Amino acid sequence: MKIEILFEDNHIIIVNKPNNVLIHNSYYARNIKEETLLDLLYVQLGFNFYPVHRLDRKTSGVLMLAKQKEHVSVFQELFTFNQIQKTYLGIVRGFVDLSVSITSPVKNPDSKVYKDAETLCEPIYTKLLDIPVTPYENSRYSLVKLTPSTGRMHQLRIHMNKISHPIVGDYKYGDRFHNRMFENEFGCENLFLHAYSLHFPQPLTNENIDIKASLPYDWGKVFKIFDWDFN
């Protein structure tokens, strides 16, 4: 599997992470034996890289990695001081008609303590299908833009479930009936959550970086069926 490189300078590399690829081995994914993103990048480029932030295994999209371990903290400070903006796209169950700020706390998996979390959800498109999904005679979906101002584990997936618009393809927090419909009707099994863009000032070069990651193949299939156009 070849990893798409979106940006590179002397200090960082930014890639478009595929669905279902771990960034690195961890306790939470100890039973998964597949090659990690770091493994794939080493084979592809011949260097070790150091993740600056994280994406869930099932989430695709923009990910920044440092070339030197000592620079990781430099770039992580961008997140600490809110100097970096991440935006995601999601396909969710139901119609999202209005922008909403979701502020439900999210439980830390290690400490089991709930921490403050905030996500802005903004509607882009909606679609009504004449395909029955239990318990309804049809099915409704929305394309949304998600902007988190905090970075809790599974935050976006938990928050969208909290407002009854779970992300399609989410087998932990989602709706199994809609997930199954996407599998059976469209042949799509992946999580429809994509880290679409990253915008930040590069602290070591003073360059303003604005990166967008193209959507995975199955998004194109769904956009064509739903008659959605997104650039």
pLDDT at 88: 98
Q: Amino acid identity of 62?
A: V
User: Two tokens at 63?
Assistant: 């990910």
Distances in Å between the alpha carbon of 49 and those of 11, 45, 74, 183, 225?
10, 10, 15, 35, 38
pLDDT mean across residues, the chain: 94
Of 219, 170, 207, 209, nearest in space to 18 by CA? 219
Domains belonging to the chain, first-starting first, are: 4-226 (3.30.2350.10)
- Over the stretch 45-89, which tens digit does the pLDDT of each residue have? 999 999 999 999 999 999 999 999 999 999 999 988 889 999 999
Distance CA 162, CA 176 (A): 16
Let me know if 56 is a catalytic residue.
yes
Beta carbons of 67 and 139 less than 8 angstroms apart: no
Distance CA 34, CA 38 (A): 11
pLDDT at 30: 58
Distance CA 90, CA 13 (A): 24
Of 56, 170, 175, 218, which residue is the catalytic one? 56
Distance CA 33, CA 48 (A): 19
Q: In the predicted model, is pLDDT for residue 8 greater than 80?
A: yes
DSSP for 79-119, please give it.
Answer: HHTT--EEEEEEEEES---S-EEE---EE-TTT--EE---E
Of 5, 119, 125, 16, nearest in space to 62 by CA? 16
- Over the stretch 181-190, which tens digit does the pLDDT of each residue have? 999 999 999 9
DSSP for 128-185, please give it.
Answer: EES--BTTBSSEEEEEEEEEESS--TTHHHHHHHHTT-PBTT-TTTS-HHHHHHIIII
Q: Tell me whether strands 193-201 and 12-17 are parallel, antiparallel or unpaired.
A: unpaired
pLDDT at 34: 83
Mean pLDDT of 198-219: 96
